[in-house]
Amino acid sequence: MSRDIDQLLKLEGRDKKEAEKAISLETSKEFRLAKRKISAVCRGLCLETDQYKPEISARSIQSYLNETKKIDRMLYSEISNYVFSREVKERATFASNIETLLLYVLNNENEISPDCRKMSIKIYDHFQLVLYQIENINNIFADGIEEAKTNLKQEVKGIEKEYISILGIFASIVLAFVGGITFSSSILQNIGSSSIYRILLVVKHSRSTGIFRRISSMV
């Protein structure tokens, strides 16, 4: 009896797991379907303005709405990813076409279902939100770049001042060294051209006046 109960419990557990697995796969299919349909609508909105036909986008949206197995909410993230990955020119085309689509679905002369009209408005509204986010990000980057430029200029100016100071000190040392060499060379040249008797006379006079003693005491 207990074995039969255990087998029944195992079967029930296995059936439960299989049911959960089936539900998970079904949900995954619905998710993939939603991504594929929304991506198709976005690609249609990126056609060249002169080639774009809003009725085709409206039919694509209605085709998604007519699906019996679809997720309840629209995948706004798919729209965001698509718009963020486009270049500026493509986003401008998307903006022009989504406005054309909005005017088309809001025109009562066109046979548009209320759900299709609502979804078109949501796509338009979310696209405007994404544009605002992109502009905000660009402004943050621009401010960061300007701040980095200002800091870099200040650092360069500081380095230039230090460089000039170092060059000034080095130039002073070189001038002093060259001046000393020139002075010594001048003395040696004058000694070479002077008479030996005159040099002896100067040395004798210096001794008598005590100049050498004063110099020695100073040293």
For the stretch 112-153, pLDDT in tens is: 899 999 999 999 999 999 999 888 888 887 777 777 777 777
Predicted pLDDT at 212: 45
Angle, vertex CA 146, rays to CA 141 and CA 149, nearest 5:
125
pLDDT value, residue 188: 54
Q: Which of 165, 58, 145, 47 is nearest to 110 (CA)?
A: 58
User: Residue 211: pLDDT band by 50, 70, 90 thresholds?
Assistant: very low
SS3 content of the chain, % helix, strand, coil (to 5): 85, 0, 15
* pLDDT value, residue 119: 92
- Encode 69-99: b = buried (16+ Cβ within 10 Å), e = exposed: ebeeebebebbbebbeebeeeebebbbebbe
Q: Which two tokens stand for residue 73?
A: 């909410």
**Per-residue pLDDT at 29:** 81
Encoded tokens for 144: 């960061």
pLDDT (0 to 100) of residue 219: 44
Reported as half-sphere exposure (CB side, CA atoms, 13 A), residue 18 has a value of 6
Angle between helices 88-106 and 114-193 (to 10 degrees): 160
Mean pLDDT computed over every residue of the chain: 76
Q: What is the pLDDT of residue 195?
A: 59
Q: Quick one: average pLDDT of 33-57?
A: 91
In the numeric block, which tokens belong to residue 135?
Answer: 């502009």
